[in-house]
Amino acid sequence: MVIWALFLVRGVFYCTMLPVWEGFDEYAHFARFSQGALPRMNTPLTREVERTFTLLPMPDQLAWIGPEVKIHPKWWALPDASRAARLTAARSIPAQEATLPAQGNFQSYESQQGPLYYWVLWPFLQMAAGWNILERVLLARLLSVLLASAAIPLVWLAGRNLAGQRLGLGAAAFLAISPMFALNAARVANDCLAISWTALLLVLLSAKRLHSWWIGLVLGSVLLTKAYALTLLPALLVLLWRQRFVLGKALGLGVLLGGWWYVRNILLTGRLTGWEDDAPLSTVLRSLPAVPWVHATSTVFKTALWFGGWSFLTARAWMYNVLLAILLLCVAAGWRRAGNFRAPWVMVACFLAGMVYDVGAEFATQHATGTPGWYLWGVGAAFALLIAGGAGKWTAPVCALLCVFDLFTANFVLLPYYSGFAAHGRSFAAISQLPAALDRLAVPHVLWIAFLAAGPVILVTLLTNHEVSFAASSSRVSDALRPAGE
């Protein structure tokens, strides 16, 4: 599929352009590959990762480590010789330090994550054990993009099952062109695999014949990937309640395959998810009335639409407002087709209920409301179906807006900051600095040009195929209305 290939081009660009550890929680996810099959929460970070903190430019969210950490503007203010020496030192970190514990008090908090993603990528990273850490991070990112990209053909299949070719193409194009989907995929983290598992589950649930064993297998796999997959359990109860034999087999196999991980969490931490900021349901329910919901909701939606890595770069406020209003209108317009779109609606509703629980748990344990919205992409395929279904013939204009937004944020928000040409909230002093920014970040100019072209080509592909689909549908209608003797 052309749209799938074009998304891969966009994903490779982001993998290459984003500096090391700029992905959300990326350093802790990467350390998991060197900590054994089932590390515990108190497992120290690896020394290899720790050393990069003082050698490479770091995201703003790691500035707390100390003055020896140089965030991007400070790193680029160093003399050329100093930067070159630091890069050489980072590339020369001995391979054996990947298995040694950090000397500082750094713990791998992502040890609480389900193990399946790390098991899938581990053989590839073992084959690249002799590569330096920068090369291995890039490899892990590329593999993550490949895993996440499977959601694109899968959402096309789900859309075709639900309402035909037109919906499938629209949903696939929406996913492929969404900037935050690409940013979320182009980091070392287990979300990429969870995104594709939930898309595959939608395909199975939208099929004419339900295959309970396949549903159970996918359910167990996603439960072993990400804890937010627990929201799929009530979703399946709602969707399959009238087919209890299928429901029983699917839940039985899913819990058999993935449930042991949550039993282990309870035994080790006393909490189902293993998360430190988890809280009992009664505590969460009591905290919900006190949550500042306007701020919490704004944070979730803003960070779901677009958030520039772990330096927390942002676009213009009016851009968020316009995009959010349009996407919410699309979802609202799709409500009239709720019966046909039952599976994605139920999946999204249960996931949002899980987000409400997470907001309440964070507020109860930390008195904060910073739950990030990029987790919503865990059910990105379901959102894509609802938005494309509601937008209908307006899917292409909606995707065009996302394309423009993607090109703006990549070229005039991310590139200037990461390359040291601009501070937070600013862009290039002159557009002529853009080629130098690509060179500083070691992004091939050919790849950048391919990235610029990928979004518009996705739009052309969508428009072309929509016209073909509409023409085919019109022809079938005309044939059905034509008198039998003609």
- Give the model confidence (pLDDT) of 295-340 as tens digits: 999 999 999 999 999 999 999 999 999 999 999 999 988 777 656 7
228: pLDDT confidence band, cut at 50, 70 and 90?
A: very high
Residue 131 has pLDDT above 50, yes or no: yes
The enclosing H or E element of 386 equals helix 380-391
Average pLDDT over residues 333-351: 84
Confidence of residue 366 (pLDDT cuts 50, 70, 90): confident
Report whether pLDDT(467) > 60: no
How many of the other CB atoms lie within 10 Å of CB of 45?
A: 25
Express each pLDDT in 134-155 by its tens digit.
999 999 999 999 999 999 999 9
Please write the tens of the pLDDT for every residue from 252-283. Answer: 999 999 999 999 999 988 888 877 777 788 88
Q: How confident is residue 429, by pLDDT bands cut at 50, 70 and 90?
A: confident
As a whole number of Å, the CA-based R_g of the chain is 23
| CA atoms within 13 Å, Cβ hemisphere of 343 | 23
Residues 6+ apart with CB under 8 A from 110: 25, 28, 29, 31, 32
The overall longest dimension of the chain from CA atoms, in Å, is 86
Per-residue confidence (pLDDT) for residue 339, from 0 to 100? 61
pLDDT in tens, 40-78: 777 888 999 999 999 999 999 999 888 899 999 999 999
pLDDT single digits (tens) 155-203: 999 999 998 899 999 999 999 999 999 999 999 999 999 999 999 999 9
Q: Name the residue with higher pLDDT: 67 or 444.
A: 444
Q: How confident is the model at residue 390 (pLDDT cuts 50, 70, 90)?
A: very high
In which residue are the tokens 């400070």 written?
Answer: 74
Average pLDDT, the chain: 90
In order, the DSSP letters of 26-90 are: HHHHHHGGGS-SS--TTPBPBHHHHHHHHHS-B-GGGGGG-TT--BHHHHHTS-HHHHHHHHHHH
At 230 the pLDDT is 96
